[in-house]
Structure 1
Amino acid sequence: MMTAFIRQYRPSALDDVEEIENYSPGGFHPIHIGDEIEGRYKVVHKLGYGGFSTVWLAKDKLADRYVALKIIVANIKQDCKELGVLQKLAKEPTSHPGQDRIVSLLDNFTIEGPNGRHICLVLQVAGPSITSLNYSSGAVAGSRRLKAQLALKIAKQTVQALDFVHSQGFCHGDFTTSNILFKLNDSINTWSEEEIYKHLNQPKKDEIITISGSTPGESAPKYIVQPCSLLNSQFLSEEILLVDFGCAFPSNSPPSNPDNIGFTMSYAAPEVIFDSKMSIYSDIWALGCVLFEIRSGGQLFGDWIGTKDDVLRQMVQTFGKLPEPWWTVWENHSLFFDDNGEPKKIWDDGIVRANKFELDEMIVEIGAEDEEEDNPERNCAMILEPNGVRVSEKEALQMKDLLEKILKWKPEERISIKEIIDHYWLL
C-alpha cells in the first residue's frame, strides 16, 4: 500500500523555483544570500536549479571573480559523475576548438549540512540558455530567435562542443538547448555587489512557511530565492558553453537503462525511446533537434504535452512511418495514423488527429507566425531576428539537407559529427 505524500510547506508564491519539499534529508542544502561557503565563496544571487542541484552566483574572494556554485543533493553518495567527466575533459589542453566550449570546472569540495553531505562544483559562470532565450517572457509564436548569422555561428560552436566530448570518449546523454548557455562577457567580473544588484536586481525572496504553522526546521532555508535573469545582450558574448554533464557516460559503456539517468523526450532518438539504447548516435539525433531549434526559435518536436505518444506523433508527421519493429511496438500509433503511416483525418469529435508537416515545410515556415510583442524594447533585441524575417530559399535547402542526414531512423545511417562540421550550411 502506497503512503500518501504529505506536504510540509506552503507552495511558494514565486515562479520558477525549486520544490520546497526537497529541502529534506538527502535533498537540497539550505542556502541564504550572503552565506560564505568554505570561507571563500560568498553567495550573492541565485542562477538556477534542477532536479538534483541548486546553482548560485558567488564571489570567489580569493580569485576575485564571480563563479557558479552548484550544490548537489545529498543523496548522491557515490562519486559524482559530472565531476569525474569534467575533470577528464579538462585534463589536458588540446587544440580542438570545442574544448573552449565546455564549461570550466574551477574547484570542487564537499560540505556537511542538515540534510547530509553535498558535493559542490565551482564552475565558470555563464549566461542564459538557448531555451530560456527562445521561451522568455514576451515571446510570441517563436519570435524570439537569434539573427541568422549569429544562429549559424552558435550552431557551429555547438557542433564543435559535442565533437570534443565525443573525441574524449564520452557521450553527453542530455544534449538539449537547456544545456547550451551563452558565455558572459568579461564585464561581470568588474562589478561590485552593488552593481550586481543594479544590473540583475535584488534577489526576490519568499519566506518558507509550514502548513502546520510551526517554525521550519533546519533542513529548509528561511526563504526561497527566484533565479536572476541574465537575458540582456549587453552581458552576453557570441559564444556558448556546454554544461550539465550529470547524464554523461563513456561511449564504450552506455547505461543499460536510460530511464535511470533521465533524458528529455523531445530530443530522444527513437532507439532511446523504444530500445533504451544511448550512444554517440543518440547524441547526434539530439544535435539535429538542437540545430533546428537554434535556427528556428522553437522545438522540432515540441514537448507541450510531453508524452511519448505526442513526440512520436510529431516524428511520424515529419519523417513518415517508423520502421519495424518500432511501428508495431508503438501500441498507440493507430490513434493517429493508418497502417501506412498516413495521418487519420479527425477524431470522433472533429479534432484533427495528426497532420503531415514535413521538414522542408517546417523550415520554410520559420518566421511565418511572428507577431508583434507587447514590449518591442526587448533586452536581447540586438541579437534577435526582427519579426517576420524568413529563411532564404538557398538556406532552407542547405538546412534541410543537413537535418535529413542527421535525423535518420536507423542510428548507423546518421551522418558523422565530422561530416556535420564540414557541411556547407555551417561553413
Structure 2
Amino acid sequence: MPSNKLHDPEIMISDYGTAFIVEKTPSSTLYTSALYSPPEVLFNEPITRPTAADIWTLGISLYEILGERPLFETISSDPGDVIGDIINTLGRPPERWWDSWVRRSELFKEAGSWVDNFSRISTPEFRPLRQRLWEMGRGETDQTCEWDVAGGELDALEGFLRAMLAFEPAERPTVNQLL
C-alpha cells in the first residue's frame, strides 16, 4: 500500500539482521544484508561501535523510506558491488580501505571514476548522494522539486544523511545527536 494511503501508521524497526546486547558486541560478524551493512563490516574490520553501525543502517533505511527505492542500487548483494556503489554515492573511502580493496581496479580508475563499460551495477554513471536526493525530489527545477530547495530542505537532508553515512564509525552521530 502506498504510504500516502496509510492513516496514522506506526513504523517499528526491531533490528537490522543481528540483535545483541551492546556490551556484548560480536567481534566481527553481523548478519545484516550487504546493502545495509556499514563499510567497516564490508571491509572486515572489527565492530568497535555497534550503535554507529546501526546509525549507518538507519541512514540507508531513511533514504529508502523517503525515496521509495534503495540508496545503493547494485544488481547483486555482493559486498564488492555494494562497496562500489557506496563509493559512487559517497566518494572515496578512507585510504586504508581504498588501498586494501582488492576489487578496486576492477571497478574504479585510480582517481576514483568508474572503469569504462562497467555493467554489473545498474547505475554505472557517477551518481553522488546530492544527485540521488535531487532525483528523489522528482523535480527538474528548484520550483518544481518536491524539496524546499530555497528554504534549505535539500541541504538539511543531505547533511543529515551524510552524517549518518560517515565512513568512519567514530564520526557518525549518536541517536541523541540525531534527535
**TM class, shorter-length:** 0.7 to 0.9
| 1:280 aligned onto 2:36 | no
Unaligned runs of 5+ in 2: none
Structure with bigger helix share is 2
Offset of residue 317 of structure 1: 0.7
Partner of 1:263: 32
Offset of residue 257 of structure 1: 3.3
- CA offset digits 1:372-402 (Å, max 9, x no partner): xxxxxxxxxxxxxxxx973331321110011
Alignment-mate amino acid for residue 337 of structure 1: F
User: Conserved in 1, the CA contact under 8 Å of 2:51 and 2:174?
Assistant: no
Picking from 311, 320, 337, the partner of 2:108 is 337
Partner of 1:390: 146
Q: State how many pairs are aligned.
A: 170
Q: TM-score, normalised by structure 2?
A: 0.81
Offset of residue 247 of structure 1: 1.9
Distance of aligned partners of 1:320 and 1:246 in 2 relative to their CA distance in 1, 3 Å threshold: closer
Offset of residue 330 of structure 1: 1.6
Offset of residue 353 of structure 1: 8.4
SS of the residue 1:284 aligns to:
helix
Distance of aligned partners of 1:345 and 1:304 in 2 relative to their CA distance in 1, 3 Å threshold: closer
Matched residues in 1 for 2:172 and 2:133: separation? 20
Structure with bigger strand share is 1
- Of structures 1 and 2, the one scoring higher in RCO (CA 8 A, sep 6+) is 2
Q: Which 4+ stretches in 1 moved above 4 angstroms?
A: none
Pairing 1:138-157 to 2, within 5 Å after superposition? 146-147=3-4
- CA offset digits 1:167-208 (Å, max 9, x no partner): xxxxxxxxxxxxxxxxxxxxxxxxxxxxxxxxxxxxxxxxxx
Matched residues in 2 for 1:390 and 1:254: separation? 41
Picking from 77, 82, 94, the partner of 1:306 is 77
- CA offset digits 1:102-153 (Å, max 9, x no partner): xxxxxxxxxxxxxxxxxxxxxxxxxxxxxxx5xxxxxxxxxx5x45xxxxxx
User: Conserved in 1, the CA contact under 8 Å of 2:52 and 2:170?
Assistant: yes
Unaligned runs of 5+ in 1: 1-132, 134-143, 148-231, 370-387, 422-427
Picking from 129, 132, 135, the partner of 1:365 is 135
Matched residues in 1 for 2:170 and 2:69: separation? 27
Pairing 1:101-180 to 2, within 5 Å after superposition? 146-147=3-4
Structure of larger gyration radius: 1
Matched residues in 2 for 1:390 and 1:361: separation? 14
Matched residues in 2 for 1:271 and 1:244: separation? 18
Matched residues in 2 for 1:334 and 1:358: separation? 20
- Taking every aligned residue pair, what percent have the same amino acid on both sides? 26
Distance of aligned partners of 1:264 and 1:353 in 2 relative to their CA distance in 1, 3 Å threshold: closer
SS of the residue 2:12 aligns to:
strand
Distance of aligned partners of 1:414 and 1:364 in 2 relative to their CA distance in 1, 3 Å threshold: same
Pairing 1:248-259 to 2, within 5 Å after superposition? 248-258=19-29
| 1:354 aligned onto 2:112 | no
Partner of 1:320: 91
Q: TM-score, normalised by structure 1?
A: 0.36
